[in-house]
Amino acid sequence: MIAQASGVLADNEVFGYQRQIFSDPAVAGYDELVDMTQVEEIQLPSHARARELAELSASMDHPAHETRFAIVAPQNVAFGIGRMYEMLREMQPGSGKKVGVFRTTEEALAFLGRVGEGGSE
């Protein structure tokens, strides 16, 4: 599953995406790639929201499916927030999703085991 964000990425959009997409049992077991290449600004009211997102995300993991989640974040701020989320997610009990944050689509696709399927960075 691939999602692309652009422009201003607001806190409510990130949480809304998580709740909407991962409450659907049809996506259980799918790997995910979020491409933040076109994001110009990230609006988080506080760093605590990254922890809350990690908690929410882990609580929605399907226990029978270990999956991967790649974030493409070439910008420094997006990359840093992504790495913070990655670490917080790993600390969540019951987290069934391996998170990786990358500067290029090619690196993200390799992490997902999809080498040669796209990306021209």
Asked if the structure places residue 62 within a domain, the reply is yes
- Summarize pLDDT for 1-17 with one digit per residue, the tens: 788 999 999 999 999 98
Q: How many domains does the chain have?
A: 1
Asked if the structure places residue 117 within a domain, the reply is no
Confidence of residue 93 (pLDDT cuts 50, 70, 90): confident
Could you tell me which residues come within 8 angstroms of residue 42 by beta carbon, excluding any fewer than 6 positions away?
Answer: 8, 9, 77, 78, 81
- Summarize pLDDT for 68-84 with one digit per residue, the tens: 999 999 999 999 999 99
Alpha helix segments (H runs only) across the chain:
11-22, 48-59, 76-90, 105-111
Asked if the structure places residue 52 within a domain, the reply is yes
Task: Determine the pLDDT at residue 100.
Answer: 97
Asked if the structure places residue 51 within a domain, the reply is yes
List phi, psi (to 5°) of 95: -65, 125
Mean pLDDT along residues 80-102: 92
Asked if the structure places residue 80 within a domain, the reply is yes
**Boundaries of domain holding 92:** 30-111
CA distance 80 to 77: 5
pTM, whole model, 2 decimals?
Answer: 0.87
CA distance 23 to 118: 28
- Summarize pLDDT for 24-52 with one digit per residue, the tens: 877 777 898 999 999 999 988 887 888 99
Asked if the structure places residue 22 within a domain, the reply is no
